[in-house]
Amino acid sequence: SACASGEMQVDPALKFVHDRMASVKHKILVLSGKGGVGKSTVSAQLAFTLASQGHNVGLLDVDICGPSIPRMLGLVGHEVHQSASGWSPVYVEDNLGVMSIGFMLPSKD
């Protein structure tokens, strides 16, 4: 492993992610160093507002400690689908797709 050998290695998936993200015109990151300040609420409301204005929106929830986006959007119990091109998000609207670590956890606890 890179840590054991002390060698710096670049994750081969990094280029793939970079290339895929290059087609996304605008990216908005909502973050804070503190929990419970409303990051998920702001993210969800921003996503709905942009989608209601006709924009194609993707909402990515990477909160591994307490992914609340599926609960906030009424998507608990939905699952992402894997295809030849990768994972497909859960769609709230035709132009609002959601991907959350919460969809992949075995239980809400």
List pLDDT tens digits, range 53-91. Answer: 999 999 999 887 888 999 999 999 898 888 888 889 999
With contact defined as beta carbons under 8 Å apart, do 43 and 61 qualify?
yes
- CB-based contacts of 8, cutoff 8 Å, min separation 6: 2
pLDDT at 54: 97
| Count, residues in the chain | 109
Q: pTM score, two decimals?
A: 0.81
CA–CA distance from 103 to each of 24, 35, 58, 107, 109 (Å)? 23, 21, 15, 9, 12
